[in-house]
Structure 1
Amino acid sequence: MKDGEFYFMEVNTRIQVEHTVTEEITGLDIVKWQLRVAAGEEIDFAQDDITFDGHAMEFRINAENAAAEFEPATGTLDTYDPAGGLGVRIDDAVRQGDAIGGDYDSMIAKLIVSAADREACLTRSERALAEFDIEGLQTIIPFHRLMLTDEAFSNSEHTTKYLDEELDHDRIEEAVSQWGDGDSADGDAGEESDDDDETTEREYTIEVNGKRFEVGLEAHDAPAIDVDSIDAGGGGNSGMERPPQAESDDEESAVSVEGGDTVTAEMQGTILSVDVDAGDEIAAGDVVCVLEAMKMENDVVTERGGTVTEIMVGEGDSVDMGDVLVVLE
């Protein structure tokens, strides 16, 4: 400088890891524009042309043990099954069977979740993290799930000292113990091998280019659903118990399934919203709730009118096909 003084300036000329959040709320492909600029093209929009819509979060899926001061973990991805669905994006370059060593950064993937607002984004993030299945090595998914249930974070009261001041080590250890230590999820399932050979048949209604189709799927050796784990992470914030399964026609039951006294889920998914309250008078065709499944939002409608006597689910709850959602009188 002309006055003889020295100054320090840091130039960070790379796209930040969290650029995905910006992409989700602006609709811009930042990486594509970086390559275009490098190739000599000019950006064809101004800052004032960029608008923001919704809320997004990014979760680094790192091979680290949160209960051991986030020390790096190594191993083989015996199972690698990322989450999916509406508003869920995965950026990764690994596949099941890959070995994760200690020569590089511990990040395995990035989970990006977007929704209309922060509250909806938190609910969707809980579901996505609960569905993200990794076995063979430790990850910090349990820590993320703990963080989403912590009031300081959910109420936007956290600071850069969040780890030191809000989350004690015992809570992190509990989260790792409850939501995954990197071992096989099957555990002692060998004793129940006869049940694993069952074939599960399900029917879905899908929409392609505005047209709906009925599709039947068979799942061989489908693992049993752990109700406790669903309530712990994938069940949203409602605090309700798991919705009851509607019984089949050949079983004696006080609950009628076919257009009778209940409205049931026609597919597996997550409750986005409940649009009725107990005591409401509704008519045939009214929407009682919205179910997120197969990357689409599906209106759940009643086949007949009546009075809503009981609501069995809440926003963010995970449900299976046949679960009772609303009881009518």
Structure 2
Amino acid sequence: MVKQPYRSAGGGRSRAALVRRAGESIALGSKSFASASLLFDKATRERVHLLYAWCRRCDDIADGQDHGGPLSIDEKQGHDRVEAIRILTHRALDGQPTSDLAFDALGLVAAECGLTQAMCDDVIDGFALDAEGWRPRTEADLMRYCYHVAGAVGVMMAKVMGVPDSESDTFDRACDLGLAFQLSNIARDLSEDDAAGRCYLPVEWLVEMDIPPGQHLKPMYRDKLVTLARRLVHLAEQHEAAARLGARHLRFRQRWAVLSATNIYGAIGRKVVEQAELAWDHRVHTTKLEKLGHVLSALREARLGAWPPSEMPRWTRGELMVRARMAGKPADVKYTPLRDEDVRKKED
């Protein structure tokens, strides 16, 4: 008799221990998101922290980091790292212990909220792109990458907040929020990414500005880089405005927390634009006082609601999902004979 593997949501660890360690992870890895998450009700906050812990751990494994900081990229090991992330994730979703708190945390929150393997694989596929040394050629490529590493996370966060599967529009807006966050992050981190040998500016954008590959941080191109950063932030603002519409479908404290995070991350992108050529001489951030102001502004908006944008973003969750699926590996479909009734025209 074959012994069945042990299965228990969270890998058998206590929920309290996983929640505590997840809270420590977000406090260390993202002060902006940690501040906004305090506004959630207790149940939502714990689940958001559990999901964040997995996202942070995956990012750290893929880039050889510890809660952010300098990247340690070894392309020879990149593929193996991503495969390790995928294997541990699938084990966690199957209720098996992983020997890693962050993955066990994912298993717990997935069981509680109905997160699926497909949702997780969408995120992991973004790490796979980085491991391949991938670069975006077009704006569509850029947005597909942003979907993987942030838009898909936004969808998972909406699921964690209890958004019903039937509310597809709310999931669309959650994806918009993730896209906005990532676009602002890319604008802010151009210098850090360049130091690690990465560039998320589409090749076509660089060609339009007559910037040679790998030279965008050179002093003679700083004014042109500012133009491209504005373009990134403009895209982010379009998705940010759309995301605010989705917040109205959340419960009040969830709405307040989401809008606070929206304000804080949006401010980072706008600071990059304001600081122009100096934006990449240091890491742009918001102060505690500024964060408080954004939280208070979000409180007002949570009560009064947001104005619909004059124009919705060009890139939609549906289109980006299709691009992601089309760019991925073919599904492992087992071929079975199909009945041909109603397929072939029957002979008289």
TM-score range for the pair, normalised by the shorter chain length: under 0.3
TM-score using structure 2 length? 0.26
Higher Rg of the two aligned structures: 1
Compute the TM-score of the two structures, normalised by the length of structure 1. Answer: 0.27
